[in-house]
């Protein structure tokens, strides 16, 4: 069986669920999951649907064209359809911190992440041995103030060459350019080591320590041109106390970073995220 996932939103109106359900049934599909949400403030209807089809009879292009010509026009939908037969391709960008990279690659090796990793890219050579140990191609693209445009051109070339669907910044300590963001809008996942919007920017653990907080957190979000202000996918927190030094906060925070980033990646891979007006809806 071939499973498709439909994500859609439009202005709230009657008959949407019935129309979509009938469309799936008329084309031989069996709905195995459906969830919806209405934002009453903005009058927007959101829906996520999973359906199974016989692989021998499903013509995905015809299904998309028919859906577009009928229901999309009728309800004014914004929509996407994905098939389970195609694994998304994920590029990983790293710098020198290895904890998130090890965690992602361990989950990938165990089959936990239903994706492909064509390559790992870094502005340093420190983590190349990790990529080599997992048999994943590693590209070293140094970035300086003077070479940043050339480095970004090289990044885009590699992303295009490998048909990358989305990018994971596993503690990649560089600001992403507007050009790259425009090509991969809501497809660049970052992990920030604080509970945003608190302590954005550099050294958030140091800022949290100075402020005397009682909880620290980690936030995974899509990258936008506004630093650390993109749509939030996942967050978590841990309690801390006055007895703990900055090093203790960093150590505890790194555990949070790994879990939060991995959860965000799985949500994205499994098509459970919808972005609207710099906010996300996560369908569990």
Q: Do domains 2-83 and 90-282 have the same CATH topology?
A: no
Domain residue spans in the chain? 2-83, 90-282
Active-site residue (options: 12, 228, 248, 255):
228
Q: What pLDDT was estimated at residue 202?
A: 81
Least confident of 68-82, 109-123, 197-211: 197-211
pLDDT tens string 125-180: 999 999 999 999 999 999 998 999 999 999 999 999 999 999 999 999 999 999 99
Q: What pLDDT was estimated at residue 200?
A: 86
pLDDT at 259 over 90: yes
Architecture of the structural domain at 90-282: 3-Layer(aba) Sandwich (3.40)
Q: How crowded is the C-beta side of 145, counted as CA atoms within 13 Å?
A: 0
69 is catalytic: no
The chain-wide mean pLDDT, for the chain, equals: 95
Averaged pLDDT for residues 253-260: 96
Q: Is 116 exposed, middle or buried (0-12, 13-18, 19+ CB in 10 A)?
A: middle
Q: What pLDDT was estimated at residue 90?
A: 98
Residue 55's pLDDT band (boundaries 50, 70, 90)? Answer: confident
pLDDT tens string 98-139: 999 999 999 999 999 999 999 999 999 999 999 999 999 999
Q: Which residue do the tokens 């990258």 mark?
A: 223
Residue 201's pLDDT band (boundaries 50, 70, 90)? Answer: confident
The rounded distance, in Å, linking the Cα atoms of 106 and 219 is 21
179-185 contact pairs (CB < 8 A, 24+): 179/152, 180/152, 180/155, 180/156, 181/223, 181/224, 181/225, 183/156, 183/159, 184/159
What DSSP line would sit under 38-67, residue for residue?
EETTTTEEEEEEEEEE-TTT--HHHHHHHH
CATH number among 3.30.70.260, 3.50.50.60, 3.40.50.1970, 1.10.3470.10, domain 2-83: 3.30.70.260
CB 135 within 8 A of CB 126: no
């Amino acid at each position: 069986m071939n499973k498709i996932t439909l994500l859609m939103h439009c202005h709230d109106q009657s008959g949407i669920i019935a129309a979509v359900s009938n469309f799936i049934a008329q084309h031989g599909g069996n709905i195995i999951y459906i969830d919806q949400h209405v934002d009453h403030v903005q009058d927007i209807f959101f829906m996520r649907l999973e359906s199974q089809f016989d692989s021998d009879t499903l013509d995905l292009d015809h299904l998309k064209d028919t859906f577009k010509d009928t229901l999309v026009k009728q309800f004014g939908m914004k929509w996407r359809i994905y098939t389970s037969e195609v694994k998304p391709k994920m590029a990983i960008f790293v710098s020198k911190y290895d904890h998130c990279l090890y965690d992602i690659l361990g989950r990938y090796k165990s089959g936990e992440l239903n994706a492909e990793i064509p390559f790992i890219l870094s502005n340093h050579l420190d983590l190349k041995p990790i990529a080599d140990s997992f048999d994943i191609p590693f590209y070293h693209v140094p970035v300086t103030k003077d070479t940043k445009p050339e480095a970004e051109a090289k990044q885009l070339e590699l992303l295009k060459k490998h048909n990358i669907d989305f990018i994971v910044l596993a503690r990649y300590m560089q600001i992403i350019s507007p050009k790259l963001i425009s090509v991969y809008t809501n497809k660049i996942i970052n992990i920030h080591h604080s509970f945003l919007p608190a302590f954005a920017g550099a050294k958030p653990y140091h800022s949290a320590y100075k402020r005397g907080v009682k909880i620290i957190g980690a936030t995974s979000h899509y990258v936008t041109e506004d630093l650390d202000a993109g749509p939030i996918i996942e967050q978590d927190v841990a309690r801390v106390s006055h007895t703990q030094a900055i090093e203790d906060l960093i150590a505890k925070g790194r555990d949070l970073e790994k879990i939060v980033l991995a959860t965000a990646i799985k949500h994205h891979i499994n098509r459970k995220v919808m972005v609207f007006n710099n906010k996300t809806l996560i369908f569990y």
